[in-house]
Amino acid sequence: MEPKDGGTSFEFTTEVLLCFSRTLNFGHQCSMVLGGMFRNAAAIYLHLVGSLQRKKAGASLTRYLHQTLTMRKQLQARRLDGIDKNPWVVFTKLASECDAVNLGQGFPDFPPPDFAVEAFQHAVSGDFMLNQYTRAFGYPPLIKILASFFGKLLGQEIDPLENVLVTVGAYGALFTAFQALVDEGDEVIIIEPSFDCYEPMTLMAGGHPVFVSLKLTPTKDQELDASSDWQLDPTELASKFTSRTKALVLNTPNNPLGKVFSKAELEVVASLCQQHDVLCISDEVYQWLVYDGCQHISIASLPGMWERTLTIGSAGKTFSVTGWKVGWVLGPDRLMKHLRTVHQNSIFHCPTQSQAAVAQSFQREQLHFGQPSSYFLQFPQAMQRKRDHMIQSLLSVGLRPVISQGSYFLITDISDFKSRMPDLPGAADEPYDSRFVKWMIKNKGLVAIPVSIFYSQSHQKHFDHYIRFCFVKDESTLQAMDKKLQEWKDELGA
């Protein structure tokens, strides 16, 4: 039995098998005394003998033993069970294969504002120490400007060291919040439709998601629905609170719907949170993208809510720099200290240069805020024009957009298509909107996202006649959309 290629493995031979057999026979004899200690080994031996006899002479016994034994052990942690599938991967891959116009993913495909680009260039080429670590919980100039800027908006004296945490994007802020505050068996109320990470993040923390859906109040037949027509039922929401409820997740403006929660709706949520001693995790990444005169209100600004709310923001959505991955959390120190514990024991630190660029961008905006030159005023005006452009284009082929009050997105009712072409290809249990989007990508060259992915499994069948489009796109992308829709319209008229 010579080692091959200088390695330590040896060839499978009769001598090896006999040796292994004798060892296990000895183990079998000992099992009479040791109470079955070696029975599992004997079972493995019988499995191996049958398998090895079918393998080519010359196969490495040690390698085969290793593979067989390691495959018997579950590798992934149980907290990953059921959350491994990601719809974004499926639709992004299909879009690239079909060379379609991507109106699915929520990112701008146009340049950030000049002042943000210049700030980043300065951060990269200026102070060489920005290439090194900074304070773990946030670059000092950034946490200082965030505290100053949002303190005025929330009506709070925000301490940059105790009330602000900088994270790897808003996604990182959400994950840190769930890990820090949600414990085994805690219930988390999620308002649907909801961004699809809230449920798996709750489950990974050991929590139990509890869902409540916004309900559509129908408009007149000839009028388009608006995202404001989707409302919370206060009685249904109240019924979801129990003694086990730990937190409620709020997203305003909402993704995918574009709904901006009114002050009256926020007051209902706030009252229930205070009544039941429940935390509020408020995802407000689209707060500057509101349209038609709507006003974004942070729930933390309502009486009694600062002490139980985490307010989450995103530089990516604020300055159209999603690749910088800078987010933040604002909240009282009694909550924030637990987020800092998770942060310091996981990522510990966020990239210094991108934090410096975000700090400088906020400093510039603070000088212009409330004036016509404010980027936070100009940007939503430009995006509202893109939203209106998309609405008119989608109407041309019989799609019925829901007028978005905010965010990057609008959803579109595809009920007419579901009636006319109900049997699109797909798995038997696949929601209709998912099958429709795949059909549309392959046959019409347009990418959207099925709205059913923003619902819990039990509710998906009730909302599988909507798809989501992103309108925060370059003019050339919208023109490419127009061309595809015109071709679609011509086919319908043929």
Q: What distance separates the 2 farthest-apart alpha carbons in the chain?
A: 90
Model confidence over 167-195: pLDDT tens digits? 999 999 999 999 999 999 999 999 999 99
Strands 245-251 and 187-192: parallel
pLDDT for the residue numbered 68: 54
Q: Is the pLDDT of residue 398 over 50?
A: yes
Cα distance between residue 249 and residue 188, in whole Å: 7
pLDDT for the residue numbered 366: 97
pTM of the prediction? Answer: 0.85
Residue 96 confidence class, pLDDT cut points 50, 70, 90: confident
Q: Give the long-range contacts of residues 233-240, CB within 8 A, separation 24 or more.
A: 234/268, 236/212, 237/189, 237/212, 237/268, 237/269, 237/272, 238/272, 240/189, 240/210, 240/212
Cα distance between residue 371 and residue 44, in whole Å: 76
pLDDT for the residue numbered 382: 98
Cα distance between residue 421 and residue 465, in whole Å: 12
CB 174 within 8 A of CB 285: no
Close Cβ partners of 221 (under 8 Å, ≥ 6 residues apart): none
Cα distance between residue 353 and residue 142, in whole Å: 11
DSSP letter (8 states) at residue 290: B
CA end-to-end distance (rounded Å), the chain: 77
CB atoms under 10 Å from CB of 147, counted, come to 21
Q: Is the pLDDT of residue 493 over 80?
A: no
Least confident of 20-29, 82-91, 149-158: 20-29
Tokens of 276: 């039941």
* Sign of the Cα pseudo-torsion (460, 396, 317, 121, in order): positive
CB 210 within 8 A of CB 187: yes
Q: Is the pLDDT of residue 25 over 60?
A: no
CB 177 within 8 A of CB 329: yes
**Residue 242: burial class (beta carbons within 10 Å; 0-12, 13-18, 19+):** exposed
Residue 62 confidence class, pLDDT cut points 50, 70, 90: low
Closest C-alpha among 273, 327, 337 to residue 299: 273
Alpha helices in 345-458 (DSSP H): 352-368, 375-395, 415-420, 432-444
Task: List for the chain the helix, strand, coil content (%; round to 5).
Answer: 50, 15, 35
pLDDT for the residue numbered 54: 52
Amino acid at 250: L
Cα distance between residue 440 and residue 452, in whole Å: 16
pLDDT for the residue numbered 36: 47
pLDDT for the residue numbered 403: 97
Cα distance between residue 177 and residue 251, in whole Å: 14
The arithmetic mean of pLDDT across residues 97-118, rounded, is 94
Cα distance between residue 390 and residue 392, in whole Å: 5
- Give the three-class secondary structure for 249: strand
Cα distance between residue 414 and residue 462, in whole Å: 13
Model confidence over 237-291: pLDDT tens digits? 999 999 999 999 999 999 999 999 999 999 999 999 999 999 999 999 999 999 9
Model confidence over 345-360: pLDDT tens digits? 999 999 999 999 999 9
- Please state, in angstroms and as integers, the Cα–Cα distance from residue 490 to each residue in 103, 335, 395, 484, following that order: 21, 57, 14, 10
The arithmetic mean of pLDDT across residues 281-310, rounded, is 98
Alpha helices in 182-287 (DSSP H): 198-204, 234-239, 263-275
**Residue 327: burial class (beta carbons within 10 Å; 0-12, 13-18, 19+):** buried
pLDDT for the residue numbered 209: 98
Mean pLDDT of the chain: 88
Torsions phi, psi for 118 (to 5 deg): -65, -35
The arithmetic mean of pLDDT across residues 381-385, rounded, is 98
pLDDT for the residue numbered 51: 52
Tokens of 188: 């988390």
CB atoms under 10 Å from CB of 433, counted, come to 26
- Please state, in angstroms and as integers, the Cα–Cα distance from residue 200 to each residue in 174, 179, 225, 273, 464, following that order: 11, 12, 30, 22, 21
Q: Is the pLDDT of residue 37 over 70?
A: no
